[in-house]
């Protein structure tokens, strides 16, 4: 490996000067253009690449951000990570992505590894997370700018980026209501999942305001599970059960897109066509939803935006730290959007 000293020797200057020139440090303005030229030529000729370890050891900077995902196989994560990656790339940061596998020990281990590697900030993608409280403690201790995506936080040391679940719930029910549906089935999220309650609240308040009666026999809850893919399975089973009951319905609101896929499978097996016999609406707008047949109507989360926003927040946080200012925790809640495709239809 070629070091700064090799460049110094080759160019005929000291390593100090080389360092100043190549980093364009403040002192560089005193150095004549000829000197700079010679040094830069030598550096290029030798293919000099500064050793990041030596540099970081001295400067305390790493230009690295840690990203922790609770379950990467959850399709919901991918667009978010894309957003994170794109924004960091533009800012010349490198993300280190870790997949926690929904496992507490793995979370702690990875957190330790990231902190050991001196990541300058942390972005936590808390999808399908049930262990929220204790994780927060670990994160607060880390004392670097941290933002959590997907959990409605009111913490004042950890920032958050979330979607307005209540609004999302309302958008879903409103859409079906406008299409004329009155007998609507619901598969709600697991009770212990943070997203579940606000989505339901949005639905209930719309129903109340519009004199829409919610039949308790048509309301089901997803069970708790470590695996986000399980919502497909559960969506299938619960819908199957709903179909078997004597209370008929013309539309179904699924907790998320995976659940909706399971519901569609169940309806289809029961000989019911979607959307002709039953409309189905999901939540999230994962990539597969547009490819499904029928294409899924869903409440779309601005996933990539959320990732980018999170990067913006931690980037500001890093600057605050550099200037030794205190880092304010921000809480951004984004509006979801209704995406109408082919799985919902006007009631005849």
Partner DNA sequence: TCCCGAAGTTCGATTTAAATG
Partner DNA sequence: GCATTTAAATCGAACTTCGGG
Per CB under 7 A, residues contacting DNA are 1, 3-5, 12-17, 19-20, 22-23, 25, 27, 30-32, 35, 48-51, 54-55, 57-59
User: Would you say 144 or 184 has its CB closer to DNA?
Assistant: 144
3-state secondary structure the chain: CCCHHHHHHHHCCCHHHHHHHHHCCHHHHHCCHHHHHHHHHHHHHHCCCCCHHHHHHHHCCCCEEEEEECCCCCCCHHHHHHHHHHHHHHCCCEEEEEECCCCHHHHHHHHHHHHHCCCCEEEEECCCCCCHHHHHHHHHHHCCCEEEECCCCCCCCCEEEEECHHHHHHHHHHHHHHCCCCCEEEEECCCCCCCHHHHHHHHHHHHHHCCCCCCHHHEEECCCCCCCCHHHHHHHHHHHHHHHCCCCCCEEEECCHHHHHHHHHHHHHCCCCCCCCCEEEEEECCHHHHHCCCCCEEEECCHHHHHHHHHHHHHHHHHHHHCCCCCCCCEEEECCEEECCCCCCCCC
Q: Which does 79 bind (CB under 5 to 8 A by kind): DNA, a copy of itself, none?
A: a copy of itself
Question: For DNA, which is the closer residue by CB, 12 or 223?
Answer: 12
Residue 324 binds which entry of a copy of itself, DNA, none, with Cβ cut-offs from 5 to 8 Å by kind? none
Q: Which of 106, 183, 204, 237 binds a copy of itself (CB under 8 A)?
A: 106
We find the least distance from the C-beta atom of residue 46 to DNA, in angstroms, to be 10
**Exposed/middle/buried for 39, CB within 10 Å: 0-12, 13-18, 19+?**
buried
Asked if 30 interacts with a copy of itself (CB under 8 A), we say: no
19 binds, among DNA, a copy of itself, none (CB under 5 to 8 A by kind): DNA
Chosen from DNA, a copy of itself, none, partner binding at 126 (C-beta under 5 to 8 Å by type):
none
**Which listed option, DNA, a copy of itself, none, makes contact with residue 229 (CB within 5 to 8 Å by class)?**
a copy of itself
Decide: is 89 part of the binding site for a copy of itself (CB under 8 A). yes
Q: Which does 272 bind (CB under 5 to 8 A by kind): DNA, a copy of itself, none?
A: none
Q: Could you tell which of DNA, a copy of itself, none binds residue 30, using a CB distance below 5 to 8 A set by kind?
A: DNA
Cβ of residue 52: shortest distance to a copy of itself, in angstroms? 5
Q: Which of 288, 322, 335, 340 binds a copy of itself (CB under 8 A)?
A: 288
Site residues for a copy of itself, window 243-272 (CB under 8 A)? 258, 261-262, 264-265, 268
Which residue ranges make up the site for a copy of itself (CB under 8 A)? 49-54, 56-57, 62, 72-73, 75, 78-79, 81-82, 85, 89, 94-99, 106, 113, 115-118, 229, 232, 258, 261-262, 264-265, 268, 287-288, 291-295
């Amino acid at each position: 490996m070629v070091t700064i000293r090799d460049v110094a020797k080759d160019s005929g200057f000291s390593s100090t000067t080389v360092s100043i020139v190549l980093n364009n440090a403040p002192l560089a303005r005193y150095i004549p253009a000829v000197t700079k030229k010679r040094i830069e030529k030598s550096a290029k000729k030798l293919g000099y690449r500064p050793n990041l370890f030596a540099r970081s050891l001295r400067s305390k900077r790493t230009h690295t951000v840690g990203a922790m995902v609770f379950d990467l196989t959850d399709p919901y994560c991918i667009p978010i990570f894309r957003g994170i990656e794109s924004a960091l790339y533009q800012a010349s940061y490198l993300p280190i992505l870790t997949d926690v596998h929904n496992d507490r020990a793995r979370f702690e281990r990875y957190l330790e590894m990231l902190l050991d590697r001196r990541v300058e900030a942390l972005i936590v993608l808390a999808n399908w997370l049930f262990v929220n409280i204790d994780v927060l403690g670990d994160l607060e201790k880390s004392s670097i700018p941290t933002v959590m995506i997907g959990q409605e936080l009111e913490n004042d040391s950890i920032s958050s980026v979330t979607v307005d679940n209540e609004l999302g719930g309302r958008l879903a029910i409103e859409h079906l209501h406008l299409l004329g549906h009155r007998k609507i089935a619901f598969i709600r999220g697991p009770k212990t999942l943070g997203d579940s309650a606000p989505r339901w609240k949005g639905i209930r308040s719309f129903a109340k305001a519009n004199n829409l009666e919610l039949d308790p026999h048509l309301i089901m809850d997803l069970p708790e599970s470590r695996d986000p893919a399980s919502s497909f399975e559960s969506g299938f089973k619960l819908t199957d059960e709903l179909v078997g009951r004597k209370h008929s319905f013309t539309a179904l609101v699924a907790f998320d897109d995976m659940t909706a896929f399971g519901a569609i499978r169940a309806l289809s097996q029961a000989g019911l066509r979607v959307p002709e016999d039953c409309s189905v609406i999901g939540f999230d707008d994962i990539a597969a939803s547009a490819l499904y047949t029928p294409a899924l109507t869903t409440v779309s989360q601005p996933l990539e935006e959320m990732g980018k926003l999170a990067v913006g927040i931690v980037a500001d946080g890093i600057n605050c730290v550099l200037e030794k200012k205190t880092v304010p925790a921000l809480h951004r809640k984004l509006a979801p959007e209704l995406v109408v495709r082919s799985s919902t239809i006007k009631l005849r």
